[in-house]
Structures are given as structure tokens and as C-alpha cells.
Structure 1
Amino acid sequence: MTEEAEVKPLVRQSPPLSDKGLVRKQRLGRGGWIALSLAVLLVAAIGAVWWYNSGTEKIHYTTLPVTRGNITRAVTATGTVNPVLTIIVGSYVSGIIQELFCDYNTLVKAGQICAKIDPRPYKAVLDQYSGQLARDQAVLDKDRLNLMRYQGLVKQNSMARQQAEDQLYVVRQGEGTVKLDGGLAAGAALNLAYTDIVSPVEGIVVSRNVTQGQTVASSFQTPTLFLIATDLTKMQVDTNTSESDIGSIKEGNSATFTVDAYPGQIFNGKVSQVRQSPQTVQNVVTFDAVVSVDNKDLTLRPGMTASTRIISDQREDVIRVPNQALRFVPGGPSGTTPPPSAKTSGIESTHLWLLRDGIPTQIDIVPGLDDDNFTEITKGDLKPGDAVIVGEEHSSSSRSQRLPLPRF
């Protein structure tokens, strides 16, 4: 035996596989790979979802409660406090102020003399016309006697009829002259009476525009000497209301105002008149809405500047929401995009977002009156205490749980 024959590897050989066994082994290997691939994909999907949720922003909603209260729409305007009736006292004649009997805050009665113009020039004119009237009246009386005598002689055929008729003409001419003189004398007497400046009403002097010794000229227009307020216990505020607000103001609307002299005091009044005459200053058109106010304590004085608030409409004890809630839109800047509106039975409706159980919920509502702070809700699934969304904040969180999506 050779040396090569003695060295034999001790290898155990398995019996050869048949063709069916080889195919079965190949099939089992392919199924395992498929199962392994599905498991890897499932793990990858779960990881992607976890990564997406953990990397998104967390949304914090800002809410305000639904309340029940009053809604008041008001118009603000500035105005001036004035007496209800102010009488301008002037002078009909010209001359020098000889005496003054009234001053500021003087209580006057109807017919009381407040000033006197030098009457001497007017008295001289009256004396002149009175003298002419007396002279012409005497001539007329004589002519009338002559006429009666001539008419008697004509009846006796002792005088010509033409002479009597001429005398009648002289009498009628004399009557005309007497009437003219009487008119001139009456005018002179009236001018003399106008030298007394009297108050036509009972009231108080709020302005005096003349001094003793001053010359008053009334040739072109009547000068204003005094302003007399008939009753300072009743005042009015003449407001300068813009043309965009005047349409909502009606007679009888309640109003409040303040004046600088009493900053802590609020005065109450009512709109007594909305005047049709426009006032244009530098192409700005305003209208006068007159607010009447009681001034029994004489607190208000003419000329004060008033900051007026006129209530044009009001609702009491209604459900209301803040105006920010009507401007909120999820996913966008609050207050920049108005909410969509629709028509429900002819009434314009819009939407609100409520936070219910931590989930934003959209509801349909019908808004009513608003006062720039709150809006009345006339129709909608709302009750006092509900939380309306007015804003949202986005904050990053690595492992925060994503909030539920809004439901409609």
C-alpha cells in the first residue's frame, strides 16, 4: 500500500438532492425575502409617520367667550354749545353812543333801554318837519275857509264858478303838502325814537360790541350792538357731523357729550333737528345735527366746545361676539381675510370658529348690529360662554403630538 492511499479525507457526504427538493428549497428562500422586505417597508412607513408628526408645528388657539350684553352704535362729532334763541340787537340810525345801560350778563326785560344814541340831530330834524307841518296846516285851513266862502257866493251868483274851482284846486294842493309834511315829521319822530336801543325780549346779555362814545354807522348794514340770549336754561349743541354719518342720525336719537371745562361730567341730550343745509370747509362737507340739552343749573355756557356721541342704534341683552372672531380664518393671518358669506333666506350669513373639546369647529351665523367692538348674533348655534377663536399661534415641538384636524 502506497503512502497516497493511506491518506484519505474523512468527509461525510450527504446524498444528492432530487430535482423536486431543490425547487422546494428555492421557493422557501424567495418567500422569506418577500416577508422581510414587507417588514422593512412597514417599519420605514411607521418611522416616516412618527418623524412627520414629531416635526410638525403645534397650533395654539386664542379664544374669547361669547357674552350677552348691549350693542350700541354711535356717531362721534364735535360741536359748539349755543343758546336755543339768540337775539341780535342793532341800531337803525347812526350816531354817537351817548349812554350805556347794559353790560355783559345783564338781565334785561322786553322794552328795556340798553343804550342811547345822541338824539340832538334827530330832534332838530323833527322840529324842522313839525314846523313845516304846522305852517302848511295853517295855510290849508285858510284855503278851506276861502273855498267855503267862494262856494256860497257862487250859489248867490255873486262870483264866477271858475274862481271857486280854482280855490278847490288850491285846497287839494295844500292837503297834499300837509300829508307830505306829516310823513316827514313822522319819519323824524321814528328816527328820534330809534336813538333808544331797547331789548326786544327778556333774557341775558351775552355779548356787548359797543362802548360809550363810539360812533355807530348804519348806512350799509345794521351794526350788532348786543347779543341777548332769551333763556340759558335751555341750550343746544350744533354738531359738525360728516356726510358719511348723517344718514344714520334721526330726530329723537339719544346723545351724550362732554366739555373741556368739566372733563369728568357727562351731559345727556336728544337730537332735536337734523338740518338740511350743508357746510363746506376745505372741500369737507358736514351737516348740523342739533342736540338739545337741559341747563337748569347754568353749568353750560355759550361757545363751549363739546365732544358729542350720538346713539344711532342700540340692542339690549343680545348674544354678541368680538369682532375679531368674524375676521378669523384658520391657517392664515387673523384679520386679513374676511370670512365668506352666503345668503340664507334672504339674510346674509357668515361663519365663526368655535373651540369645542379642543377641536376647531365651524358654524354658520347671521350677524346683526355691530359697534366696532362686538357684533350681535341673530341666528346661530351659540350660547354665552362658548369659546370663539380669534387667533392662532404656531410653535415648534420635537416630540409633540399633532393636534386633530379641523372638522366642518
Structure 2
Amino acid sequence: MSSPSNAPASSKPTSRPGAKRRRSPLPRIVVALVVVAALAAAGWYWTQRGAADQAGAFRTTEVERGNIRVAISATGTLSAISTIVVGSQISGQVTDVLVDFNSEVKQGDVLARIDPSTYEAQIEQGNAQVAAARASQAQAQATLRNAELDYRRKADLGTRQLVAQADIDQARAAFEQAQAQVNSTQAQIRQQSASLQTTQVNLDRTVIRSPVDGVVLTRTIEPGQTVAASLQAPELFTIAEDLSKMKIELAVDEADIGQIRPGQTVTFSADAFSDRQFRGVVDQVRLAATTTNNVVTYPVVVSVDNADGTLLPGLTVNAEIEVSNREGVLKVSNAALRYKPVGDTAIAPAAGGRGGAGMSEEFERIASTLDLNPEQRAAFDAAVAEQRQRSEAARQSMGQQQRGAAAGGGGPPPGAMVMRAGGGGDANLQAQIRQRMLERMQQNFADFTRTLDEGQRQRWNAALASSLSATRATLYRLVDGRREPVQVRIGASDGSSTEVIGNLSEGDVIITGERAAR
């Protein structure tokens, strides 16, 4: 019997001595690629998640392009441009009233009559006094002629020593007295004539006439009423000279009065015509301020065309004065202007501006209001091009200074000022910087301004000064989840949105606040 260990070896597979198995590298490459792709996907996911989390930490709004209309609201009262109060300069009883409320009158028309009896009697008395004075004058002249003849006779006899000198002197005195009496009677005649003329004037005043063409607004007398004009002229009628042209006196708050200028458009409504809107123009800003309960207001006079006669004197109106109407401008929500990150610091150019391109846009806007001729336009384009080159050179120089300061670990480069996110440095320093900028701009545009007439030059200088002294603020733009400060110039605001001018584009995302951490 044989043992199992002695089984034949032919039952197991055999191989050649020294032979090796070859495996393909493809599976390992596939595995490596899958691992790399997974790691990249994970990195991208965490990067995007971090950016999304950072972007989601802010409340934002977009820069929009649209219109901004700024208007100031005020209330006032309609009245005629010229209102005449007709009174009486004399006293007496009213006998006739010939007009009523709303009566149309012409200049010289009789409105009322006062009893003339008293003045007619005074006229008769005056005539009698003048006649008596003239009779006295005739008597005095007769006495004068007699005294003159007596004096001449005695003077002639005196030359022949036939009359005493005392008689001659007495005759001469009588002659001079007669001459004085004649002069006295002449003065009495002039006095009585003047008194008679005064009485005649008062008699004419018993007829009350209209001084202008217009409409009777009020009448305060009735026939039989007695008028007493001892201290001041009583008011009998009020006449509106022309109701086709009217005015509104608006009470504008002192905080808004600085924005009001003659020529601005006014829209208003009246409760009596609630379905209509009327228009007017600011005619005058008066300096006579009124203080009521510590509130200071200034009267603003608005002229209104009332050719159709719809508007009535005395109506209370609610008006809006359009102080600015900006069309097609970049604007942003006011919340973006209020956002100030805590502890953030931004470096703003000392010029406080928006760079060469932004200033070029501002120059174009100012020039568009000047009605330039081709020669002036060519001079303006040349000045703007030169200004743009200067600005570009200044930016390059500042960029080199910033890189040098960053390499050296120093502070801000020369020519820049550090501003907190919420404000802007020393006021005196900023005023000096703006003044230097204005002087430099005036020098750069000197060739252009020499081509302007006086009116254009004044408007250009005023607009340029206004642009450089305008309020500026720092907005924070959200770029790839990061906060980027952008300095802009503040323009018109309607209370919810504000015009911004600077290195911004329509659609830019601006931060308005930060969300609470979860």
C-alpha cells in the first residue's frame, strides 16, 4: 500500500523556469486621475463656498442709470401780481356806490361819490374871499396913486424952497405905506386863491375813481355810510390790476432756501382744482425772513400764467420747486452712502477726485451748457486732451511711489492722504487742496477760457469751482467676494437715491450693510 504523499507530480501545473507575469499600468493612471479630479473638485467647492459665504455676509445694491428729480415742497397763497387798495382822502357821507364785487373797471371809472355839499360851500366862501381881497387891492392901488402924486408935488415944491422938508418926508412915507398896502392885498389874493384851489381839490376827491384797469375784489362801504379820514385814509375798495398774471408767495424753510434760484420750474395744485396741475416760474427769493415757533422761512415769489382765468386770488396751493432734474445719470441707493465698515481705512488721492477719465466727463458736462462755437470747441478738446495726459502721468507717478512705499514697508506715498471710511480728514487741509486744484485747472484751461465771452467765462468758472468743491464719499464695491473702496462725487439726491460720479459702471454691486454672523 502506498502513501498519499507519493501521488504523481503531474497533477499540478508546471511553468518554465525564470518566467515573470506582466501587468498593464492603465488602472493605476485612472485611479490617479480620479483622485486628482476629486481633490480639485473639493478645492473648487470650498473656494466657491468661501466666496459665497463672504459675499453672503453683505447686503448689496446695484448701480443704476436713470433720472433723479429733486424738488422742494412748500405751501403758499395765490394773489394778483398788483393789488391796489382804493381809499378816501376826505371825510363825508357816501352818497353813491357804483361798483360791486367782481366788477371790471377801467382807469378813471367812478367807483363811489361822497357828499360834496361841504366843499361846494367852501368853494363859494373862497370865491367871496378872493373877491374881497381884489376889492381891497383896488382900494390900495387908488390910495397908492394919490400918495404918489402928493409926494411928487411936494418934492417939486421942495426944490424951490416953497415946502418944508418935513412935509416932503411925510408925503414920501405915505407913498411907501400905500405901496406896501398894495403888496399886502396882492398876497391876500394869492392866499385866498390857494385856499380856494385846495377846496377845489377836496371837492374833486369826493368822486372816487379807479386808478387802474382791473377787477374789484373787495368793497367795504355802502351808500349812506360816513367815511372818516382824519388820521388815515379808510380802505374802500381793493382792485386786482390783472388776473391773467398771478403770483404765489411760498414759505420755504431755511434749510432749503439755498437751493432756490430765479427761473426754476414750479408745479402746484389747488384743492379747488384737484384734478389739474399748474406750472409757474420762480420770480424772486426775498430776504425778509419770518420766524414762527423758532422755524425760519423765506418768501419765494412764483409768477403764474392765468390766461384762462381758472385760478382765483386767495387759493391755497401745494407747490413743488424743481431744483434739479438729472437725466441718464448713475445713481445708487442712499443706504450705500451710509455704510461705513468699522476700522477700515482707504487711501484716497489727495486730489479727491475720480481720475482723469472722470474729470473729463465732468468737463464735458460743464462745456455742454456753454453753447460753444467750433473754435471754442476745438480749444476745449485740446485742453481736455492735455489735462488727460497730465492726469495719466500723475497716476503713473503715484503708482510707482505706492509700489516703492510697499516694498519699503512705509506708509502712504507722498501726495496721498489717509481717510477713514466715514470721513475725510482736516477741513482746512481739504479746502486748501481744492483751492490749489481750482487754480491748477484754471491754468490748464487758460487758452480755452480766453476764447469765451464774459457770460460763458463766468458760468465755466462757477461750474468748475462747484465741481471741485462738491461733496465726496467712499462707496464699497463687492468684487469676487471682496470689499473694494471707490471714491465718488455726490450729486443730486431725491431722498432715496443719489447721483454718483466716479470710477463706477452701471450694474456694479455696492455694499449697503453687513449681515449678522450665524
- Taking structure 1 as the reference length, what is the TM-score of the superposition? 0.74
Answer whether contact 1:367 1:378 (CA < 8 A) is retained.
yes
| Shift, 1:79, TM fit | 1.2
Equivalent position of 1:303 in the other structure = 314
1:164-183 superposed matches below 5 A: 164-183=175-194
| Shift, 1:383, TM fit | 2.2
Are 1:148 and 2:159 counterparts?
A: no
Answer whether contact 1:58 1:395 (CA < 8 A) is retained.
no
Quick check: 362-371 or 75-84, which moved more? 362-371
Are 1:272 and 2:269 counterparts?
A: no
Aligned counterpart for 2:495 among listed residues 372, 377, 387: 372
The verdict on how the C-alpha distance between 1:280 and 1:99 changes in structure 2, with shifts beyond 3 A counting, is same
After superposition, the C-alpha distances for 1:243-301 in whole angstroms (9 at most, x for unaligned) are 22222222222222221112232222221111122223344322111111111111111
Aligned counterpart for 1:104 among listed residues 98, 101, 105: 101
The verdict on how the C-alpha distance between 1:124 and 1:360 changes in structure 2, with shifts beyond 3 A counting, is farther
SS of residue in 2 equivalent to 1:288: strand
| Shift, 1:308, TM fit | 1.9
The verdict on how the C-alpha distance between 1:395 and 1:304 changes in structure 2, with shifts beyond 3 A counting, is same
After superposition, the C-alpha distances for 1:294-324 in whole angstroms (9 at most, x for unaligned) are 1111111111112222223343321111112
Aligned counterpart for 2:135 among listed residues 135, 138, 141: 138
SS of residue in 1 equivalent to 2:289: strand
After superposition, the C-alpha distances for 1:160-196 in whole angstroms (9 at most, x for unaligned) are 2332222112212212222221122111111111111
Partner Cα separation in structure 1 for residue 421 and residue 138 of structure 2: 100
Partner Cα separation in structure 2 for residue 121 and residue 109 of structure 1: 29
Equivalent position of 1:189 in the other structure = 200
Quick check: 155-164 or 126-135, which moved more? 155-164
Looking at secondary structure, tell me which structure has more helix per residue. 2
Aligned counterpart for 2:87 among listed residues 77, 87, 90: 90
Equivalent position of 2:508 in the other structure = 386
Answer whether contact 1:349 1:364 (CA < 8 A) is retained.
no
Answer whether contact 1:255 1:271 (CA < 8 A) is retained.
yes
Answer whether contact 1:326 1:339 (CA < 8 A) is retained.
no
Equivalent position of 1:285 in the other structure = 296
1:9-28 superposed matches below 5 A: none
Partner Cα separation in structure 2 for residue 217 and residue 310 of structure 1: 46
Equivalent position of 1:245 in the other structure = 256
Equivalent position of 2:372 in the other structure = none
Answer whether contact 1:97 1:115 (CA < 8 A) is retained.
yes
The verdict on how the C-alpha distance between 1:60 and 1:210 changes in structure 2, with shifts beyond 3 A counting, is farther
Answer whether contact 1:77 1:240 (CA < 8 A) is retained.
yes
Are 1:321 and 2:321 counterparts?
A: no
The verdict on how the C-alpha distance between 1:245 and 1:58 changes in structure 2, with shifts beyond 3 A counting, is closer
Partner Cα separation in structure 2 for residue 317 and residue 75 of structure 1: 21
Partner Cα separation in structure 1 for residue 258 and residue 100 of structure 2: 43
Equivalent position of 1:211 in the other structure = 222
| Shift, 1:216, TM fit | 1.2
Quick check: 173-182 or 148-157, which moved more? 148-157
Equivalent position of 2:75 in the other structure = 78
Partner Cα separation in structure 1 for residue 211 and residue 59 of structure 2: 68
Query: Whose radius of gyration is greater, 1 or 2?
Result: 1
**Amino acid in the other structure paired with 1:217:** A
The verdict on how the C-alpha distance between 1:129 and 1:236 changes in structure 2, with shifts beyond 3 A counting, is same
1:213-228 superposed matches below 5 A: 213-228=224-239
After superposition, the C-alpha distances for 1:58-87 in whole angstroms (9 at most, x for unaligned) are 957654432222223332221111111111
The verdict on how the C-alpha distance between 1:147 and 1:258 changes in structure 2, with shifts beyond 3 A counting, is same
SS of residue in 2 equivalent to 1:182: helix
Equivalent position of 1:18 in the other structure = none
Q: Which runs of 5+ in 2 are unaligned?
A: 1-45, 157-167, 343-419, 435-467
Partner Cα separation in structure 2 for residue 127 and residue 284 of structure 1: 61
Partner Cα separation in structure 2 for residue 252 and residue 167 of structure 1: 74
SS of residue in 1 equivalent to 2:288: strand
Root mean square deviation of aligned Cα: 3.0
Q: Which runs of 5+ in 1 are unaligned?
A: 1-48, 332-337, 397-408
Looking at secondary structure, tell me which structure has more strand per residue. 1
| Shift, 1:233, TM fit | 0.9
**Amino acid in the other structure paired with 2:332:** V
1:327-366 superposed matches below 5 A: 327-328=338-339, 340-342=422-424, 349-354=472-477, 359=481, 361-366=483-488
1:40-79 superposed matches below 5 A: 59=56, 62-79=59-76
Answer whether contact 1:365 1:377 (CA < 8 A) is retained.
no
Quick check: 194-203 or 262-271, which moved more? 262-271
**Percent identity at matched positions?**
36
